[in-house]
Amino acid sequence: WREQYGSILTEEELRETTWSTRRKLLDTFGDSLKYVNRLMNTRFGNSARKVPAHMPHFIDSQVVREMHEQWNEQFEETSANRFRSPLDMQFSFTHMYWVTHATNAK
């Protein structure tokens, strides 16, 4: 850290900055999950949804196309963001529940 930030921040300031940034990212991630959940509620109706675990996910390219057709503007905005935003699409969350709800609707 010294090579990169030593002339700008003290070690204590760096810890505070890292903690506050990490905390903000966690809040932003949670906010974006709530945002996507609201989109899912609008499309499929209210449902209890949990965040999928960090693990490999099988991705169906047809499902991805359907998701992008439904929320193209939101996915484009997420891709254009340099940093996380409360209005980001959460890909694995969206994919998992798209498959669940679309399958149940058929």
Alpha carbon distance 81, 63 (integer Å): 23
Digit-coded pLDDT (tens) for 52-69: 888 888 899 999 999 999
Q: Residue 28: helix, strand or coil by DSSP?
A: helix
Digit-coded pLDDT (tens) for 17-38: 544 555 555 588 888 999 999 9
> 86: which residues sit within 8 A by CB, 6+ positions away?
28, 31, 32, 35
Is this structure's pTM higher than 0.85? Answer: no
For the range 47-53, what are the long-range contacts, defined as Cβ-Cβ under 8 Å and sequence gap of 24 or more? 47/97, 47/101, 49/93, 49/97, 51/93, 52/92, 52/93, 52/96
